[in-house]
Structure 1
C-alpha cells in the first residue's frame, strides 16, 4: 500500500515537472546567455574577442531570471495542488500561490523588495497540505485567511534561526580533509535530490579560498605549476571535478542518455549541461525524487573527485589555479585553469567516462520501467 501511494505521489510530481519543463529550459538558456554573452568577462566575449557594449542590457538578466524562476515555482505549486486535490475545489490552487508568495517576499531595511525562492520540497509539501487539509474547509474566505496566515508564519520562520541551514563546505580551510569533504558532498547532493536546494543556478567556480589564493600567488611568482603549496585543495578537487555538467556530474548522464538513444532529450540539454546548467535535465528526466538516480547522483561526483586527486597526487595532472572566464564549459575548467595542461584534460575526460559508466545501468533501468509502464 505504501509503495503504491509513493508511486502515485512520484508520478504526480514527475508529470508536473514535464509541464513546467519548457519554462525551466527557457530560464536555463537565459542564464547561459547572461553568463557567456552579457558579461564583460563572459566566455564567448573573451574567446571570440567581442566588444562588450551591452552593460545596461546585461543587468536586466538577473532580475528577469529571478522573477521567472519564482513564477515557475508558483506555477508548479498551483499545478501540484490541482492534481493532488483532483480538482475538488478550483480555488485551492490559489491558496498555495498565496502561501508561497507571502512566504517568499522580504522587505530589506532600505524598503527594497527581495524575493526568495522556496525550495522545491517546500512547494511540494505546501501543495499536498493545501490539497488535503484546506480542501476540508468549506468556506473560501476562511481558506484564503488561513493561507495568508500560513504564508506570514512561514515567512517569519525563514527569516529566523528556527529553520536549520544545511552544512556548507568551508572555503577557509587550507588542508583538504577527505573524511569531512566526502560526507558534505554527499549531503549536498542528497539535499538537491530531495529538492531542498533548487538546481536553477549554475555552480560558480571560484579561487577565493586561502589555499587556492596561495597556489595562484606561487604560480604567478614562479611562472610554473610545479611545487605549489597546496596542490590538493577545494578548488582543484571539489569545484573542478564535482560539477562536470553541473551538480551530480550530469555530463555522464547526458552521454548515458545518448547511448540509450534518448536523442531528443539529449539535443535539448547537451549544450546547457556542458556549461553546468542542468536544472531542465534534472526535472524532465526526472532525476530529482527519483530513486533510480539517487545512487549515481551521489556517487558520480565522489568518483570524479577521486580521479582528479589521484592524477594531481601522482603528478600526471596539474591542479587548476588560474581564474577562468565566466560561463566556461565545465569540461574545460581544468584545462583552462591550468593554462592548457593536457594531463588535466585527460583526467577530466576519464572522470566523465566514469560518470557515464556509473549512470548507464540506472538510465537503462529507468527506460525499462518507462516502457513497462507504457505497456
Structure 2
C-alpha cells in the first residue's frame, strides 16, 4: 500500500491544479500562523470563559480588557478573511502561471477573487464582518473558484493567438462566461441548500434528540474529519452534540450525586471525541506534530512543525494544514481519519470497563487538549494517563506515513513535499 500511495502522490503532484493549491498554501503559511496565534490569544485570554481569563480573572485585572478583546477579534477575522481571498486569487494565478502574458495571470486572479468575494458577501447583505468571516472559513470554496477561473482563462488563452488585448470576441466570450459562472455560483451559494441538506442528512442519520450510539459518534467524527481534510472547516459535530440531552443530564446527575461512575450517559461526544479524539484538533494533529519533529527530514516541514507545536497544544492545527501541507495530502488521509477513531475506541474501552471515569465537568474554553479529560473528570490522573496513551498510539499511527513522505521526497524531490 505504501508504494501505491507514493506513486499516486507523485502522479497527483504533477497535475497543474494540485501544484496551484500546494503553492498557494505554502505562500500563505506565515499569515495563517499569525492568524492562529492571535486567535489562540483571544480564545484563551479574552473569551468570556477562556482558560487564562478564568484562572487570572483578566476581565477585572487587565486594563482595557474589552477594547483589547474586540480589537484582537476583529484583527483575527480580517486576517482569516484575507487568507481566504488570497487563496482565490493565488490558486487562479498559479494555475495560469505557465502563461507568457503576466497581465492574463493577474486578470485571472482578480476575476477569481472578485467572484469569491461576491459569493461570501452574499451571505451577509449588510456586509457584517463576522458573518462574512465565518463564510470564509470554508477553504474549499475559494480553491474551487480559483481552479475554475484559472482553467477557463487557460483554455481561452490557448485559443487566442493574438492575446486578449486585440481579440474582442475572446474578451466578450470570457465576460459572458464569467457572468454565467458568477450568477450560477451566487444563486447556489445564496440558497445555502447544500449546507442545510448536508446537516439535515447527518441529523437524520444520528437521530437527533435521542442519545447517539458509539458507532454513530464514530461516523459523525469521521465525516467531520474527512470534510476538514478537504478544506471544509466545519463544526457540525459540536453543533449536533449540543442537540443531545446527554451532557446536561450527566452534569445534573454529577451535581446532585457527586459521582462520575454512575452518570446516565457515559458515552458522549464530550467523553470520547473532545476528551480523547481531537488532541491538537481534528485528526489528532498534536500527535502528527510530535512525530514530524522527531522523524521528518525535510527542513521546510521541520520548520512548520516547530512553528505549530505551541498552537496544536491548544487544538489549533491551521499552521500544519498549510505548512506540511496536511490539506489534500493523500499520504496523510488515512492516519488523519484513523488516529481519532482508535483514540476514541480506546476511550470507549476504558470507560465501559470502569478503568477511567467519563469526562463530565464543564471546563474552561480553549483548555489544551491534553488536559481536557483530566479536568473533565475533576482531576482524575487515570484520565490524564489515557490521554497520553492516545497521543502515543496516534503518533505510532502517523509514524509509518511520515516515513512514506520521507521516501516520496527522496524519490521525487521538491515537487510536492520538499
TM-score (norm 2): 0.81
SS class of match (1:239): helix
Q: Where in structure 1 are there 5+ consecutive unaligned residues?
A: none
1:215 and 1:57, CA in 2 relative to 1: closer, same or farther beyond 3 A?
same
Match of 2:113 among 97, 110, 113: 97
Q: Which residue of 1 aligns with 2:122?
A: 106
Q: CA deviation at 1:270?
A: 0.8
Note the 1:298-317 alignment, pairs <5 A.
298-317=337-356
2:269, 2:55 → 1: CA distance? 27
Q: Which residue of 2 aligns with 1:65?
A: 76
Q: Which residue of 2 aligns with 1:243?
A: 278
1:333 corresponds to 2:372: yes
1:260 and 1:184, CA in 2 relative to 1: closer, same or farther beyond 3 A?
same
User: Residue 103 of structure 1 contacts residue 152 of structure 1 at CA under 8 Å; is this kept in 2?
Assistant: no
2:326, 2:239 → 1: CA distance? 22
> Deviations along 1:204-262, whole A, 9 cap, x unmatched?
99877411111111111112213111111121112222211000011110111122156
SS class of match (2:28): helix
1:6 corresponds to 2:37: no
Q: CA RMSD in A?
A: 3.0
Q: Which residue of 1 aligns with 2:226?
A: 190
> Deviations along 1:160-192, whole A, 9 cap, x unmatched?
154243554669545331332223222221112
Q: CA deviation at 1:103?
A: 0.8
Q: Which residue of 1 aligns with 2:217?
A: 181
1:209, 1:194 → 2: CA distance? 27
SS class of match (2:259): coil
> Deviations along 1:60-86, whole A, 9 cap, x unmatched?
333332222121111122111121112
Match of 1:43 among 44, 51, 55: 51
User: Residue 74 of structure 1 contacts residue 100 of structure 1 at CA under 8 Å; is this kept in 2?
Assistant: yes
1:238 and 1:336, CA in 2 relative to 1: closer, same or farther beyond 3 A?
same
Q: Which residue of 2 aligns with 1:79?
A: 90
Bigger Cα displacement from structure 2, 205-214 vs 297-306 = 205-214
Bigger Cα displacement from structure 2, 120-129 vs 26-35 = 120-129
> Deviations along 1:25-54, whole A, 9 cap, x unmatched?
111001100011122422122334542451
Q: Where in structure 2 are there 5+ consecutive unaligned residues?
A: 1-6, 158-163, 165-169
Bigger Cα displacement from structure 2, 322-331 vs 232-241 = 232-241
Bigger Cα displacement from structure 2, 78-87 vs 347-356 = 78-87
1:38, 1:309 → 2: CA distance? 34
Q: CA deviation at 1:200?
A: 11
1:174, 1:217 → 2: CA distance? 18
Q: CA deviation at 1:118?
A: 6.3
1:24 corresponds to 2:37: no
Q: Which residue of 2 aligns with 1:260?
A: 295
SS class of match (1:16): helix
Instruction: Compare the two structures and name the one with the higher helix fraction.
Output: 2
SS class of match (2:400): helix
User: Residue 80 of structure 1 contacts residue 124 of structure 1 at CA under 8 Å; is this kept in 2?
Assistant: yes
SS class of match (2:122): strand
1:45, 1:298 → 2: CA distance? 33
